[in-house]
Amino acid sequence: MIKNILYFVVLTGVVCQSYGQSLVNDGAEIMLQESAVVFSTESFVNRNNGQIKGDGTMDFAEAMNFAVINPGVVIGDLSFDSSLINSSAAGFMLDIQGNAGIGIENGHDHVFVDGDLVMNGILDIATIDGFVPATTDSFTIISYTGNISGQFTAVTLGGNLTGFAVDYTLPGQIRLVHESILSVQEATIESLQVFPNPTNDFIYIRSLDKIDRVEVYNLIGKQVLVTTKTDKVDLGRLAKGMYLVKIYSEQKFNVKKIKVQ
């Protein structure tokens, strides 16, 4: 049985349920407010120019997008607690208000997928409120925990994003970065060792190549540490969990997954 949603607004704290059936948004706007949750034991389909907007979680066995995903009212963070399959008709409309972080005021829109991600369709992204990003800024626009296949088939950059491009090189993240950053390619750093793993505090980095910089990201793409003191890196202040450690050497980098316990 398919349930069509003609108009659907999820207000603060309201949880919408549909057990044993799929949900189909047929051209309406679904607005999630203040971490609201929409869930079903089956699948969700967004189609016919339907829009998923706001801040909250879509919790389904699987989500299929044939229309528009547009986080936030101004800036927002939308989560899918499942795989997300995007068709060629899919569109992502994202804004960058500043470099304060993911899904917060003066930050940028973000989509989180707790599962596999099939990319397709169009990315339409722009700066707002006069924000001008620096060439060193990077914006994690989509994070995912599973495997990824495909890429956006077209990208439209608005506002002050001249020289920026989409980057798929970091595991678990799709970022918007300046083209000067993309000139650094992922390649093998000779005899690279990162230990211990897991760690309680420090990691040690050894290589025959000179290490220039180390960046540490959590699994939703937020940079939590950057340092040029590269032989011994202190992770002791980070919360327990998994992190991506990006290690730079001249025009190349490697990424290692490290557990802090």
Say if residue 23 is in the same domain as residue 122.
yes
Question: Which of 166, 182, 198 is at the close of a domain?
Answer: 182
Q: Which residues contact 195 (CB under 8 A, 6 or more apart)?
A: 203, 204, 206
Average pLDDT over residues 213-232: 87
Average pLDDT over residues 186-210: 90
Model confidence at 185, in pLDDT bands (50, 70, 90)?
A: low
DSSP-derived secondary structure letter, 198: S
Say if residue 129 is in the same domain as residue 209.
no
Task: Residue 168: give the domain boundaries.
Answer: 2-182
Say if residue 148 is in the same domain as residue 87.
yes
Are 166 and 156 in contact by the 8 Å Cβ rule? The answer is: no
Question: Which of 140, 162, 182 is at the close of a domain?
Answer: 182
Total domains present in the chain: 2
- CA dist., res. 211 & res. 163, Å (int): 27
Say if residue 218 is in the same domain as residue 170.
no
Q: Which residues contact 19 (CB under 8 A, 6 or more apart)?
A: 40, 41
For 42-78, what is each residue's pLDDT tens digit?
889 999 888 999 888 988 889 999 999 999 889 999 9
* Beta-carbon count within 10 A of 93 CB: 18
What value does the mean pLDDT of the chain take? 87
Are 180 and 196 in contact by the 8 Å Cβ rule? The answer is: no
* Beta-carbon count within 10 A of 164 CB: 26
